[in-house]
């Protein structure tokens, strides 16, 4: 277990042109709210089979359904994403203990949840948090077995990647790995989070899908020889670009989820169409749409998100304060204006 990351502070600098700040802020807010919208859109039909979605496709934000939650209510995906954001804003640099503490407060008290209580808790995440609540330090909490490769860390990785957008790729990879390992410590999950994180950073910079694919591949080159990286092979070579819908699985397995999310992003330009595609794949609808929604939201920016969906999200003041503070911290403090 490395300790280098615990001393990291977001102090790298990047010269940018004036006016870019507005674009970056719009994309960061788009990513956060896009993820929440994707999660909320998938919640009512989570784990419904694809034939059911084909018979009764989701065509707008719904409520109730399998979790009996009102429209716009996000689940674990959104809550743990917000937990990361809160922990970043409350700590200096990367402090893993503060992040898993936020997870525990969500689990016990419903902090960062839409309705005041935690629901839709994944098995590995639950076990990791219970270890933390029993007194284990952050580095001893995560599950590390090969069967612990669900999408429970991938779904919350967007703010970790964005916070580190100016860090060297090797530092970003280290911290993304540690962030995954808070609950999902098998190397395959960590590598999936690194890949997704590099994709997030590329799209924050305004890259399209193909450029993001190439940039992510370049920035993850040191990992290509790792044994577990072989499992990501087809995905990182962009084979999902050519796959048909029938070939895309939308299960809770981390690599199925990542591939499904990227495939949906490739099918559509419009945010709403992209999210509905993800939800109507069936299976792990909320997490596929959350992982996809973060990237789709960055692609269109907050200004491109559907207003009718945004207005049904609960806790508007809390969400906007947290997201705005995170965007300001992430974008602003280290930029050198030219
Ligand atoms: Mg969920």
State the pLDDT at residue 336.
47
Residue 96 resides in a domain: yes
Whole-angstrom distance, CA of residue 48 vs CA of residue 139: 35
Residue 6 resides in a domain: no
CA-nearest of 244, 242, 250, 239 to 217 is 239
Q: How far is the CA of 218 from the centre of ligand 1 (A)?
A: 31
Residue 266 resides in a domain: yes
Distance set, CA 16 to CA 160, 161, 213, 298 (Å): 21, 19, 23, 19
Q: Which residues does 47 contact at the CB level (< 8 Å), separation at least 6?
A: 66, 282, 283, 284, 285
Instruction: Return the number of other C-beta atoms located less than 10 Å from residue 17's C-beta.
Output: 9
Count the alpha carbons within 13 Å of 14 in the hemisphere toward its beta carbon: 15
User: Kindly report the CA angle at 292 between 266 and 108, in degrees rounded to 5?
Assistant: 170
Whole-angstrom distance, CA of residue 155 vs CA of residue 258: 9
Do 10 and 93 contact (CB within 8 A), yes or no?
A: yes
Do 191 and 162 contact (CB within 8 A), yes or no?
A: no
Longest dimension (CA), the chain: 55
**Which residue range(s) make up the domain with 98?**
14-333
Q: How far is the CA of 36 from the centre of ligand 1 (A)?
A: 10
Q: How far is the CA of 43 from the centre of ligand 1 (A)?
A: 7
State the pLDDT at residue 262.
98
Whole-angstrom distance, CA of residue 40 vs CA of residue 285: 10
pLDDT tens across the length of the chain (338 residues): 333 333 344 444 445 556 788 899 999 999 999 999 999 999 999 999 999 999 999 999 999 999 999 999 999 999 999 999 999 999 988 999 999 999 999 999 999 999 999 999 999 999 999 999 999 999 999 999 999 999 999 999 999 999 999 999 999 999 999 999 999 999 999 999 999 999 999 999 999 999 999 999 999 999 999 999 999 999 999 999 999 999 999 999 999 999 999 999 999 999 999 999 999 999 999 999 999 999 999 999 999 999 999 999 999 999 999 999 999 999 875 554 43
Do 149 and 189 contact (CB within 8 A), yes or no?
A: yes
Looking at the chain, which runs of residues are DSSP E strands? 14-16, 335-337
Do 251 and 154 contact (CB within 8 A), yes or no?
A: no
State the pLDDT at residue 20.
85
Q: 153 phi and psi, to 5 degrees?
A: -100, -35
Q: How far is the CA of 285 from the centre of ligand 1 (A)?
A: 8
Instruction: Return the number of other C-beta atoms located less than 10 Å from residue 106's C-beta.
Output: 23
Whole-angstrom distance, CA of residue 282 vs CA of residue 53: 6
Q: How far is the CA of 187 from the centre of ligand 1 (A)?
A: 22
Residue 4 resides in a domain: no
CATH of the domain at 207: 1.10.4080.10
Helix, strand, or coil (residue 150): strand
Q: How far is the CA of 249 from the centre of ligand 1 (A)?
A: 17
Whole-angstrom distance, CA of residue 266 vs CA of residue 67: 29
Instruction: Return the number of other C-beta atoms located less than 10 Å from residue 211's C-beta.
Output: 13
Task: State whether the Cα torsion 42-34-294-95 is positive or negative.
Answer: negative
- Structure token pair of residue 121: 């808790």
Residue 8 resides in a domain: no
Residue 309 resides in a domain: yes
Q: How far is the CA of 77 from the centre of ligand 1 (A)?
A: 5
- Structure token pair of residue 222: 């040191």
To the question of pTM greater than 0.75 for the whole model, the response is yes
Q: How far is the CA of 335 from the centre of ligand 1 (A)?
A: 35
The DSSP output letter for 175 is H
Residue 3 resides in a domain: no
* Number of domains comprising the chain: 1
Q: Which residues does 91 contact at the CB level (< 8 Å), separation at least 6?
A: 98
State the pLDDT at residue 18.
60
Q: How far is the CA of 286 from the centre of ligand 1 (A)?
A: 5
Residue 1 resides in a domain: no
State the pLDDT at residue 333.
56
Whole-angstrom distance, CA of residue 241 vs CA of residue 227: 24
């Amino acid at each position: 277990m490395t300790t280098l990351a615990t001393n990291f502070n977001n102090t790298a600098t990047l010269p940018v042109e004036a006016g870019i700040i507005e674009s970056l802020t719009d994309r960061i807010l788009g990513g956060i709210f896009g993820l929440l919208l994707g999660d909320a859109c998938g919640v009512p039909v989570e784990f419904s089979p694809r034939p059911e979605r084909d018979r009764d496709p989701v065509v707008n934000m719904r409520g109730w359904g399998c979790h009996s939650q009102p429209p716009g209510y996000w689940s674990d995906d959104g809550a743990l994403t917000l937990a990361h954001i809160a922990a970043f804003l409350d700590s200096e640099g990367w402090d893993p203990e503060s992040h898993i503490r936020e997870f525990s407060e969500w689990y016990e008290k419903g902090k960062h949840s839409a309705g005041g209580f935690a629901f839709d808790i994944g098995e590995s995440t639950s076990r990791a948090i219970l270890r933390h609540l029993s007194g284990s330090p952050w580095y001893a909490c995560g599950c590390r077995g090969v069967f612990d490769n669900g999408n429970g860390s991938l779904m919350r990785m967007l703010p970790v990647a964005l916070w580190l957008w100016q860090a060297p790729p090797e530092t970003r990879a280290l911290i993304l790995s540690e962030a995954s390992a808070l609950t999902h410590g098998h190397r395959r999950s960590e590598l999936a989070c690194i890949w997704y994180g590099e994709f997030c950073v590329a799209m924050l910079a305004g890259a399209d899908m193909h450029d993001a694919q190439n940039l992510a591949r370049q920035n993850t080159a040191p990992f290509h020889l790792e044994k577990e990286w072989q499992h990501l092979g087809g995905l990182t070579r962009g084979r999902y670009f050519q796959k048909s819908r029938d070939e895309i699985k939308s299960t809770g397995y981390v690599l199925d989820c990542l591939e499904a999310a990227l495939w949906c992003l490739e099918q559509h330009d419009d945010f709403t169409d992209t999210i509905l595609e993800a939800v109507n794949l069936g299976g792990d609808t909320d997490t596929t749409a959350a992982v996809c929604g973060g990237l789709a939201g960055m692609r269109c920016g907050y200004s491109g998100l559907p207003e009718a969906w945004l207005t049904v999200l609960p806790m508007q003041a809390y969400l906007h304060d947290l997201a705005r503070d995170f965007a300001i911290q992430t974008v602003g403090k280290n930029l050198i204006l030219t």
